Structures are given as C-alpha cells and as structure tokens.
C-alpha cells in the first residue's frame, strides 16, 4: 500500500504546473479549460480509444507500473470534444460565466417564474449581497442575522417560520467521516479516483457545472466509480450575490448539465464558499436540492494564500483525526471539506487517507450516512444505505447506479458497496479505533466578519469577507 500511495502521489504531483484557465478559490486553479479537440462521439468510442489515448475513464489498472503509466496528467487533460455536449451546448449558459436563463428556454423560464414569485412573496427584503467574487465591502446587514446568512455567522438553521430545512453540517453516525470532494471534475483526477477505487471508497462529489461541460468524460468516471454526484453551481461564485434569476440558473443548469452528461439528476448541492442565505436556500429547495455544507475545513484549497502552508493543511487534517480520540464524534460525525481542486489538494487526501481510516470507524459518502438510497430524481438508480455500505447488513437496499449493481463488504468497517454502473465493488479492511470526546464542531471555519457586538436592530457594515471557504 505504501508503494501504491507513493505512485499516486507522484502522479498527482506531476502536472501541477500546467494550467490554463479559470482561477478561483483563493487564487487556485479550479479548472483547466478544454478548448476542444478530436471528437469523441460516444462512450463506446471512448473505450476503443483508451488504449491509445487515455482521455478519461480507463480500464482498471492491473499493477503499479500500468497505473503509473496511465495517470499522466498531460494525457488526461488533452483537449477533446464530446458529441453529446456539442449537441446540447446551445441550451446552456457560457461556461465559467454567471449563469442566466438561456433565451428561448421555455421550461426554465416557466419554472423560474413560479419560484421567483414564491421567493419574492416569502423574502421580499432579502436582496443580493456583495460582489460575485466575495467582496462584501459596504454591505449593510442587520447584526441579528435575519437571513440566516452562513457567510455572516455560519448560520445553518433557518428560523422555523421560514419553513426551510436546516443545512446538513454533520453525519448522524458516530465516529464516521462524511467524505466528499468539491470543485470537480478535475481533468487530472485519475490518480485520485484510482486510489479511491482501489480502496473501495466512495465519496460525495460536488461538481461544478462548467467543469462537467468542459470535462464530461471525467464526470462520467465519477458516476461510474459509484460516487454520489451533487451540484456545486455553474460558475463557482458567491451565491448570495446573485439575483433570483442568476441563482436559479446557476443551480438549474448545473443540475441539467449533470443530467445531460451523466443521465442522473442530483438532489443535493453545496454553495461555493458556503455562501448561502434564506433566499438562496428557498431557490435551491424549490429545485429539490438539499444543502450540504460542512463542519470541518481542511483548508486545502487555501494553500499559498493568506500565509497558509501545506504544513498547516496537514495540521488541519490531523486535528480532525485527533477529535475522534477525544470523543468529539461519539454522537455524530463531521462532514469535512476537501477538494478535487488541484494536485496538492488531491494528493493531500491520499497522504492522510490511511490515518483517517485507522481513526474513524467509517468513511462514507453523505448519501450512505443519511440512508439516501435514491440519491437522484431517477429512482432506478440506487445507493446503499449506511448498514449496507459499511457491510453491517446485506439485507437492505444495496445496489448501484445500475441494474447490475453489487454491494460488497469485507471484513468490517469501511467495506464498500458499489454504486456504479460498471464498477465492481471492492473493499478493504479498516482499522477501527474507536474514540470519543469533546469538541468543537463547526465553528472553526475561520470566517471573520468584522464588527463588534452590536444592538440586535442595528446594521453592520461588513468589511471584505476574505475568501473564507471554497
Ligand atoms: Zn468549491
């Protein structure tokens, strides 16, 4: 395993400098643009090309040598054009630009009109806040946080009279790591995805709509590997800065992109930077999307900015791991923020994965933690519930994203059920250190809204809230 880990780390490190594209999250690359290239008409054609030009999903590697050979980021990020995307492109906003309803899209127009009417009637006083890039300078806001604005005080539970659901910040299972990655699909993610596959590990993948359109074959691999796919907006900007229509379009077209490319319609989402308030929550809930934020941030995305170093990120990982031992997670587990953003963020997870597995009883995608056995609108696609995923029971609705699903378990904690169409289930044993103890949950998420305590009815001028999370 050590050798395999070394190979993966090497592969993830190789293409670190090659980039062109969009910059986000603390100045990091969040996408390599795919300007188009040789046309791939279908997944079947892709498979026939794989031995010559491994652009995306590949056959399983059989040994370390073949794995090292086939995870060359330069090859992985070679531009291509995918016919299903070319055919659908005119029905979508321009990638990496703020989404708006595409002219002539009657379905979107009709749906938005209905949602907009509800939003305006329910929250007439909540308007857009700050800039799309997170500059909230000069924004006046009531210190009592009437909008339950996460970016202000990490509010995650809207007042009861709003009728909105609370955000998901933790998983209900003790000593269990809620496992996911933001910002994918990254075109050079094969080494990471291979590593997850080889460990029988599924995750919740929060995909950016523009990345799905840019790198559809990489997105397909996420589904095929049995990961849970959620929405992470179209252009990865601050959601509370958008008008109702823009916020709607950011979610609607990402959901539609995933449906178009992967054939499934997600029911979950995560706001970039955690930036959400009641207005945005209502728009998302109207699209049948459950908001999943997090309790702990590795700050992997932040390396190189604000003085954050790789060592700091390692300490953040270790801090979450240590909380198992002090009893923090005896009643519920953390949802931890980490990223498929760049080579560092991917390799850092690989570095800590074995430690995580050793400390936590289970490492599971959010769907498994919450027993969401039908995570998509398409109910024929199913996912294992918690007991099945963790191999504690084989009687419940195990399955996969395909009719030929299989659920697998192995000796104990961490066994994995396949949720993929084509993937096979593998599993590995995990050591199960138990644990216990106290802790702090979500807070440490270093947001630092300025301003001292003030009267409940007063208004605060918010200084720039630095890119606090991704
Ligand atoms: Zn993100």
Ligand 1 centre to CA of 236 (Å) is 6
Residue 328 CA to residue 237 CA, distance in Å, equals 33
- Check if 306 is active-site: no
CA distances to 297, 311, 436 from 325, in Å: 18, 21, 5
Ligand 1 centre to CA of 132 (Å) is 14
Ligand 1 centre to CA of 128 (Å) is 20
pLDDT (0 to 100) of residue 418 = 34
pLDDT (0 to 100) of residue 27 = 38
Catalytic option among 28, 189, 227, 339: 339
Ligand 1 centre to CA of 393 (Å) is 34
pLDDT (0 to 100) of residue 428 = 28
Residues of the chain with pLDDT under 70: 1-32, 43-71, 394-470
DSSP state letter for 56: S
Does a cis peptide bond (omega within 30 degrees of 0) precede residue 135? Answer: no
Catalytic option among 145, 147, 182, 194: 182
Ligand 1 centre to CA of 291 (Å) is 13
Ligand 1 centre to CA of 183 (Å) is 5
pLDDT (0 to 100) of residue 176 = 97
pLDDT (0 to 100) of residue 45 = 63
Superfamily per CATH, domain 2-93+168-389: Glycoside hydrolase/deacetylase (3.20.20.370)
Ligand 1 centre to CA of 233 (Å) is 9
Cβ 309 vs Cβ 328: under 8 Å: no
Ligand 1 centre to CA of 71 (Å) is 24
CA distances to 233, 386, 393 from 397, in Å: 30, 10, 10
25: left (phi over 0), alpha (psi -120 to 50) or beta: left
Pair type for strands 139-142 and 333-334 = unpaired
Record the tokens describing residue 295, joined without a space.
């309790």
Ligand 1 centre to CA of 232 (Å) is 7
Helices 244-262 and 106-122: crossing angle in degrees, nearest 10, is 140
Nearest Cα residue to 152 out of 170, 134, 165? 134
Ligand 1 centre to CA of 48 (Å) is 33
- Check if 182 is active-site: yes
DSSP 369-428: HTT-S--BSSTTS----HHHHTTS-SSS----SSTT--B---SSTT--B--SSSPPP---
pLDDT (0 to 100) of residue 8 = 52
Pair type for strands 81-82 and 290-291 = unpaired
């Amino acid at each position: 395993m050590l050798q395999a880990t070394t190979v993966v780390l090497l592969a993830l490190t190789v293409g670190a400098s090659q980039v062109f594209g969009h910059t986000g999250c603390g100045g990091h690359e969040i996408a390599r643009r795919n300007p188009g290239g040789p046309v791939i008409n279908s997944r079947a054609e892709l498979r026939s090309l794989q031995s010559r030009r491994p652009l995306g999903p590949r056959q399983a590697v059989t040994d370390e040598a073949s794995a090292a050979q086939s995870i060359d980021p330069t090859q992985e990020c070679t531009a291509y054009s995918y016919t299903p995307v070319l055919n659908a492109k005119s029905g979508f906003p321009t990638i990496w630009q703020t989404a708006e309803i595409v002219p002539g899209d009657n379905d979107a127009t009709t749906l938005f009109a209905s949602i907009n009417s509800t939003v305006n009637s329910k929250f007439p006083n909540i308007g857009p806040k700050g800039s799309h890039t997170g500059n909230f300078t000069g924004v006046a806001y009531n210190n009592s946080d009437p909008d339950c604005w996460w970016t202000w005080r990490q509010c995650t539970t809207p007042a009861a009279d709003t009728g909105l659901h609370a955000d998901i910040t933790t998983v209900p299972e003790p000593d269990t790591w809620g496992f996911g990655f933001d910002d994918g699909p990254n075109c050079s993610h094969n080494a990471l995805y291979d590593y997850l596959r080889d460990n029988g590990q599924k995750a919740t993948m929060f995909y950016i709509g523009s990345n799905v359109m840019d790198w559809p074959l990489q997105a397909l691999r996420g589904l095929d590997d049995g990961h849970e796919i959620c929405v992470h907006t179209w252009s990865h900007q601050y959601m509370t800065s958008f008008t109702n229509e823009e916020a709607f379009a950011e979610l609607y077209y990402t959901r539609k992109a995933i449906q178009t490319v992967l054939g499934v319609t997600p029911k979950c989402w995560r706001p970039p930077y955690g930036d959400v308030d009641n207005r945005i929550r209502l728009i998302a809930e109207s699209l049948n999307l459950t908001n999943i934020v997090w309790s702990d941030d590795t700050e992997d995305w932040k390396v190189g900015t604000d003085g954050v170093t790789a060592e700091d990120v390692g300490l953040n990982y270790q801090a979450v791991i240590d909380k198992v031992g002090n009893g923090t997670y005896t009643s519920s587990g953390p949802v931890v923020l980490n990223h498929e953003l760049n080579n560092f963020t991917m390799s850092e997870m690989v570095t800590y994965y074995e430690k995580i597995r050793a400390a936590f009883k289970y490492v599971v995608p959010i769907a498994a933690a919450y027993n969401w056995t039908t995570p998509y609108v398409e109910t024929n696609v199913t996912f294992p519930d918690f007991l099945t995923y963790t191999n504690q029971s084989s009687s419940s609705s195990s399955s996969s994203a395909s009719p030929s699903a299989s659920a697998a378990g192995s000796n104990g904690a961490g066994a994995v059920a396949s949720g993929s169409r084509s993937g096979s289930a593998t599993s590995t044993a995990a050591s199960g250190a138990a644990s216990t103890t106290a802790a702090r949950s979500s807070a440490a998420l270093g947001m630092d809204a300025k301003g001292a305590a003030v009267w409940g009815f007063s208004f605060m001028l918010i200084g720039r809230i630095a890119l606090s999370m991704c």
